[in-house]
Amino acid sequence: MSTDTPDRGGAPRPQGTTGSTYRADRDSTVAMPPADTRLLVAAGVCLLIPVVALMWVSSYARETPRLGGIPFFFWYQFAWVFLTSALTWTAHRLVIAARRPRDLAREENREDLGGRP
């Protein structure tokens, strides 16, 4: 879609041509957009749980209890495939709930156009 956008990685664009009202705080990392921080933190926890669980190898490096002849070590990790999938999906819903992208686009558009002659 942005087929012939000249606006690419090469030469820096002249400052101000796309005049964002957020330009002033562009060097700060969390300037945008308004979001429900509690929901974002909850999403972060959802994403962190599988990483911690699977990196903690000593918690699951054992043979028993077996499941249908399969040692614990193996079926436990297979179970985490499904748990992680569910947690990642939950994080996805939480992030959407915390920050509505359409609102952002609309708001940005209005302010952008407002700033133009």
User: What's the CA gap between 70 and 20, in Å, rounded?
Assistant: 58
Tokens of 108: 């940005």
Structural contact between residues 53 and 59, judged by C-beta atoms closer than 8 angstroms: yes
Residue 37 within binding range of other proteins, rule CB under 8 A: no
Q: Tell which one of 37, 41, 88, 115 touches other proteins (CB under 8 A).
A: 88
Tell me the per-residue interface mask from 98 to 117 with other proteins, x by CB under 8 A, - otherwise.
Answer: -x-xx-xx--xx--x-----
Residue 48 within binding range of other proteins, rule CB under 8 A: yes
The distance of closest approach from Cβ of residue 75 to other proteins in the complex, given in angstroms and rounded to an integer, is 10
Structural contact between residues 70 and 14, judged by C-beta atoms closer than 8 angstroms: no
CB neighbour burial string for 32-68, b if at least 16 within 10 angstroms, e if fewer: eeeeeeebbebbeebbeebeebeeeeeebeeeeeeee
Tell me the per-residue interface mask from 2 to 31 with other proteins, x by CB under 8 A, - otherwise.
Answer: xxxxxxxxxxxx----x-x-xx-xxxxx-x
Give me the residues that bind other proteins (CB under 8 A), please. Answer: 1-13, 18, 20, 22-23, 25-29, 31-33, 46-48, 50-51, 54-58, 61-63, 68-71, 73-74, 77-78, 80-82, 84-89, 91-92, 95-96, 99, 101-102, 104-105, 108-109, 112
